[in-house]
Structure 1
Amino acid sequence: MGGYILSKVLDLNLNEKQFLLLKEYIDSKRDTQGVLMQALHEAQEIFGYLPIEVQKFISHELDVPLAEVYGVATFYTQFSIEPKGKHKIGVCLGTACYVKSSQQVLDKLSKELNIKVGGTTDDNLFTLEATRCLGCCGLAPVMMIDQDVYGKLEVNKIPEIISKYRE
């Protein structure tokens, strides 16, 4: 695998109920068009992401090559093959926000959370992502934590904002 190390492995025994739910869903959709996409969406809803164990399960259940399942799961941005944190932080790097120093906001969050962009904290509490326009250009720079919008951000306010979500 070219030195790639799977950081987290899904325990099949601890997730038996989730796999049963996914099997029931697949069985109910088996004869519909686009069943692979539907199964991947449902799997991500159930598991929160699409680890290789879930991809193998879908491959087996649908009799579709694992390479095809993996290809679809990695091609579409709505799917994630890595676990996401409880709180998803998106920092806008669109033009208006970038001009107003959103890169410094992103850098501060990365340092504060001790993760790189696209990463998830070890405690699975936060996932940090760079996004494009959030549609709040008048509030630049902007970030979202889950559904909460923070505009006119000041870098020095980041620790205070993050602390609200650690409680």
Structure 2
Amino acid sequence: MPSTNCAGHEELYAELNGYIDSVKNQPGSLINVLHRAQEIFGYLSEETQQHVAEKLDIPLSQVYGVVTFYNFFSTKPKGKHQIKVCLGTACYVKGADRVLERLKEELGVDLDEPTQDGKFSIHAVRCLGACSMAPVVLVGERDFYGKVTPDEIGKIIEKYKEE
């Protein structure tokens, strides 16, 4: 195992290595390997990117180029519950900035940072496709909240604290 592995992650790297070994001779395997690595680790750290480059015998620059090109890859840890706040025009005009500020206050984090317990992170997005419900908040991939006010943030967060 390369020296880039962090202590305590041996099992996770072993799982990733098993996956890499099963697909490494397939064309276009890099994106699939990166998806699997992000599933395993939650994000793609520099160490994980280096590990993937070594295992696939490709330049780190190629791995980094793919990771930074596609927006579904993350180089920073994210919370278990990712809270997306739409800052598109309709949402912004209806107070999304105040909703975002309340979220940051309640969770004690800034944008794109996980909470201390790793349960939450807040992300600003340009559009969630629900302008008629502005301002809109999305928790995870499915839980939409429309016409959100800052005063509703506490209730929304509470719903996910025990998960």
So what's the TM-score if we normalise by structure 1?
0.86
Alpha-carbon distance in 2 for matches of 1:141, 1:27 = 45
Q: Do 2:45 and 2:76's aligned partners in 1 also have CA atoms closer than 8 Å? A: yes
Structure 1 portions without partners, runs of 5+: 1-9
Write out per-residue CA displacement over residues 67-121 of structure 1, whole angstroms, 9 at most, x where no aligned residue. Answer: 3222321222111111111110000112221111111111111121111112211
Residue type of the partner of 1:153? V
Write out per-residue CA displacement over residues 29-84 of structure 1, whole angstroms, 9 at most, x where no aligned residue. Answer: 11222121121111111211111221121111111122322232122211111111
Alpha-carbon distance in 1 for matches of 2:113, 2:13 = 26
Q: Which structure 2 residues correspond to residues 1-167 of structure 1 after superposition, within 5 A?
A: 12-146=6-140, 147-167=142-162
Q: Do 2:78 and 2:112's aligned partners in 1 also have CA atoms closer than 8 Å? A: no
Structure 2 portions without partners, runs of 5+: none
Alpha-carbon distance in 2 for matches of 1:112, 1:36 = 38
Matched-pair identity in %: 48
Alpha-carbon distance in 1 for matches of 2:65, 2:130 = 33
- Partner SS, residue 84 of structure 1: coil
How many residue pairs match? The answer is 158
Q: Do 2:80 and 2:120's aligned partners in 1 also have CA atoms closer than 8 Å? A: yes
Q: What is the CA-CA distance between 1:13 and the residue it aligns to?
A: 4.3
Write out per-residue CA displacement over residues 104-152 of structure 1, whole angstroms, 9 at most, x where no aligned residue. Answer: 1111111211111122112211110011221211211110111211111
Alpha-carbon distance in 2 for matches of 1:17, 1:80 = 21
Segments ≥4 residues shifted beyond 6 Å:
none
Alpha-carbon distance in 1 for matches of 2:24, 2:159 = 44
Q: What is the CA-CA distance between 1:12 and the residue it aligns to?
A: 3.5
